[in-house]
Every structure is written in C-alpha cells, then in structure tokens.
Amino acid sequence: MYIFQELDAEERKTLLEELARKIVDRGMETVAVMFLEAHKPVAFFAGQAMIVMSPFLVPLLGQDGLRKYSQLLGDRENVELLIQRIEEIAEERRIAKVKE
C-alpha cells in the first residue's frame, strides 16, 4: 500500500470519529480544538511532518496508520471536520451529564 493513496470517504469518516472520541474521552477537547485551530493553516505541513517522522511513528501507528493519519491531518477540510466532530461529541456528553 502506497503512502500517497487517498482516503476514501468511509475511511475518513471512521478515522475522524475514532480520533474525536479518543480526544473527548481523555477530556482534551478544549486543548485539541485550540491546537487544531492554530495549526489549521499549516495542516499540509503537519501531514508531511508525519511522513518525515515515520521512522519514529511507524512503531506506534503502524505503516497503514501512519498513511491514514498523515492523509487525514494533512488536509484543512479534514482538520475542520475533526474540530466540528470533537465539539459535537463534547456537547453531547455535557447534555448527557446535565440530564443525569
């Protein structure tokens, strides 16, 4: 599998959901949203930096995971979708806590 292979829509949606849920589960939504908003203009470079750092990231993410996350985070649109999904999940959790 090539590192430059594009993500399909279903794969992108799954990765966004998985990453957003992990962030909210750890209570890091505020920090993550601030970080992502601040770095959205350089999203392409973030994706490329992941490729440059691949010798260190492959043991953590696996080669396919590295490809997927570098593609995901290297696109501004995906970063914006991730931010929106983080905010949606965090809001759902706040509402659920209030109802309890």
Query: What is the separation of C-alpha 53 from the centre of its chain, rounded to a whole number of angstroms?
Result: 17
Q: What's the rounded Cα separation, in Å, for the pair 20 and 29?
A: 8
| pLDDT the model gives residue 1 | 44
Phi–psi pair at 74, nearest 5 degrees: -90, 0
As a residue count, the chain comes to: 100
Domain ranges (residues) in the chain:
9-99
Tens of pLDDT, residues 53-77: 888 988 988 888 888 888 888 889 9
Q: How many CB atoms lie within 10 A of CB 47?
A: 18
Are the beta carbons of 63 and 5 closer than 8 angstroms? Answer: no
Percent of residues, the chain, with pLDDT higher than 70: 95
- 11 is written with which tokens? 């794969």
- 7 is written with which tokens? 């993500």
pTM over 0.75: yes
Q: What's the rounded Cα separation, in Å, for the pair 73 and 46?
A: 7
